Amino acid sequence: MSGLAFVFGGSEGIGLAVAERLVASGRQVVVLSRSAAKLDAALARLGSGALARAVDVTDAAATRGVVDALVAEVGVPDLVVTTAGYARPGYLEDLPAEDVTGMVATNLLGTINVCRAVLPHLRTAGRGTIVTTSSMAGLAGVFGYTVYSATKFGVIGFSEALRREVRPYGLRVLVLCPPNTLTPGFDEENRHKPAEVLAAEESVATLSPEAVAATLVRALGRRRGFLVVPGRDSRLAAVAIRHLPFVVDRALRRPTEVVE
């Protein structure tokens, strides 16, 4: 597999695992993230097949400027993956206001900003794939993740509409919907999860970033598809969400007995 890929949020977690897979397959990869220190660490892992640029995807003008400069330097990517985002669990009335706006700005608006920045270049080239990142919490609302779920539902709706918009230009859009994944962000989530949420997740499978990345890379090799759902349990859950919503509602609702 050859070509050029831009991976936003590629300095750690799922994004870094995706970048590693792509480099190993022979692609040139540019990883983008807010943290210069994390980007330096990522480059040390990725080796000579990668470049890095710092950018905050919540800043639309900065994102467009970095993308334009990269295209002038290394060319138009044939693959753009955006995994930048975060979750701050907690019940709605308890969420810090900065995290309410932060999740919307990063998860949803950040995704939109990346797509708006790369789209003119992909459209002119007449080729390319965009991968956005939602979540299993973007397929079914999860108690304790009200705002996060809203942003990830938004990513799916945005990606579905974008897919239909750009198809005449020969462009492809996929949306990645990982379950709980063992990333630094997941460790941070666990520090804030209410006891009921932790209890509800005891039976939920948790994947490695590498497993999620492997699923995505396989999906890139297929001609069809839109939702990319890693893990057998998650794929079964996605089918249940679509066809057995009443069963899913019973499984996902908040227990009537509050855990203190």
Does 258 reside within a domain? no
pLDDT digits (tens, 9 = 90+) for 83-135: 999 999 999 999 999 999 999 999 999 999 999 999 999 999 999 999 999 99
Residue 46's domain spans which residues? 4-252
List the catalytic residue out of 134, 135, 149, 234.
134
The token duo for 5 is 């890929």
> What's the pLDDT at 1?
61
pLDDT beyond 80 at 192: yes
pLDDT digits (tens, 9 = 90+) for 58-82: 999 999 999 999 999 999 999 999 9
Does 257 reside within a domain? no
List the catalytic residue out of 33, 152, 159, 193.
152
How does DSSP classify residue 207?
Answer: B
Does 178 reside within a domain? yes
Does 196 reside within a domain? yes
The token duo for 67 is 């993308």
Global pTM reads 0.93
**CATH number, domain at 81?**
3.40.50.720
> What's the pLDDT at 111?
98
Distance (Å, whole) CA 10 – CA 31: 5
Does 45 reside within a domain? yes
Does 182 reside within a domain? yes
> What's the pLDDT at 124?
96
**Total structural domains within the chain:** 1
**What's the pLDDT band for 258 if we cut at 50, 70, 90?**
low
pLDDT beyond 80 at 202: no
| Other beta carbons less than 10 A from residue 6's beta carbon | 29
| Residues 194 and 91: beta-carbon distance below 8 Å | yes
The set of residues, in sequence order, having a beta carbon less than 8 Å from that of 118 and lying 6+ positions away, is 6, 67, 77, 80, 128, 130
> What's the pLDDT at 8?
98
Provide mean pLDDT across the span 202-221.
92
pLDDT digits (tens, 9 = 90+) for 26-40: 999 999 999 999 999
Residue scoring higher pLDDT (260 or 140) = 140
Does 260 reside within a domain? no
Catalytic annotation present for 152: yes
List the catalytic residue out of 38, 148, 149, 159.
148
